[in-house]
Structure 1
Amino acid sequence: MSAALTLLEESSEAALSLRAVARRAGVSANAPYRHYPDKDALLAALATHGFNELHGRLLDARDSAPAGQELVCLAQSYVRYAVEHPALFRLMFNRPCDPSHPEVKTAGDAAYAVISAHVVAGTPPELHEARVTGWWSLVHGLASLVLYGKLPRDDGAIQQVEELVRSAVTAMSRS
């Protein structure tokens, strides 16, 4: 898994192959096939790994957030994860979830549940879906804009990104 993650971050999903992973890991060309029957299975495993990591980060952010700052901390954690793992983040969200890989959906749903449970707190049930969709769109949009260089920031200045996220989430929470 670590060889595949490194290759993904160094190149792209298109350049990732089971043979390339084997070369990187220093094992025989057939060794990865014991774990992944094909490239799609490898990509699903990587996406699952990413969603599981994101889930853990979101739980940590939620649990350590100062009272009243939970949404800001969740948003900052989400965007920080995207900035720290850009290729994996793109794989997690740009690749369609294949129904034959239910573990990707399960892991993604778990991360989404951390966000949605907090977003809907105190919201009338008829507004739950709209509020979660709007909030997730805001945060995912911020992450994407940062990744694609569309928001001004100094390279490596995660504090600048976190302040931008704080400002956007706070402004939208008041509307």
Structure 2
Amino acid sequence: MNPYLPFVTDWLIARWPYWNSAKATSAFAQLLGQEGGAAMAPYRHFEDKAALMGAVALKGFAMLEAEAARANEATDSGEALTAQGLADVGFARAHPALFRLMFADGAGLGLPHEDCHGAYALMTRQVAELAPNCAHAGALAC
């Protein structure tokens, strides 16, 4: 694993509201110029732009999973499921560009499923607990 990956992705996530994947190159130049860095510095740590965007999306999935895990702490399955749904919506509202990158812009869609489904897995477990005989019907077939 690239030792700079956590630093670079955390830096990008912290600045994500100021740019999106469609304007990444000019946004990097602007952001890095403001901080005294080289415009192409983040790319040095990744194979290409798609790998960089995938790493940022993967970090977003980890953040979403952490939010869902906090929501999952409710003792009642129904309350936990409701809290998880609210956490998902809250995450999307707090990080709209990152959410788009994860679910709509392609970077997140190309990641291995097992790396991205943690929050969804928590939700499906709650559905299975609430409706054990028909969990497949309520497990959001997406």
Structure-1-length-normalised TM-score: 0.63
1:8–1:16 Cα contact (<8 Å) kept? no
**Deviation at 1:11?**
2.9
How far apart in 2 are the matches of 1:6 and 1:41?
A: 18
Same amino acid, percent of matched pairs: 31
Choose which of 78, 85, 88 in structure 1 pairs with 2:95: 85
Choose which of 113, 132, 142 in structure 1 pairs with 2:139: 132
**Deviation at 1:110?**
1.6
2:83 match? 73
Q: CA RMSD in A?
A: 2.5
How far apart in 1 are the matches of 2:115 and 2:42?
A: 22
How far apart in 2 are the matches of 1:129 and 1:24?
A: 50
How far apart in 1 are the matches of 2:35 and 2:140?
A: 40
| Equivalent residues in 2 for 1:105-144, closer than 5 Å | 105-124=113-132, 127-133=134-140
**Deviation at 1:70?**
1.1
How far apart in 2 are the matches of 1:51 and 1:45?
A: 10
1:13–1:91 Cα contact (<8 Å) kept? yes
Partner secondary structure for residue 58 of structure 2: helix
Question: Which structure 1 residue ranges, 5 or more long, are not aligned?
Answer: 137-175
Using the TM superposition, name which of 111-120 and 24-33 deviates more.
Answer: 24-33
1:91-144 per-position Cα deviation (integer Å, ceiling 9, x unaligned): 11003322xx43xx333212211111111214245x33321117x7xxxxxxxx
**Deviation at 1:27?**
2.3
Partner secondary structure for residue 133 of structure 1: coil
1:47–1:91 Cα contact (<8 Å) kept? yes
Using the TM superposition, name which of 13-22 and 112-121 deviates more.
Answer: 13-22
Partner secondary structure for residue 116 of structure 2: helix
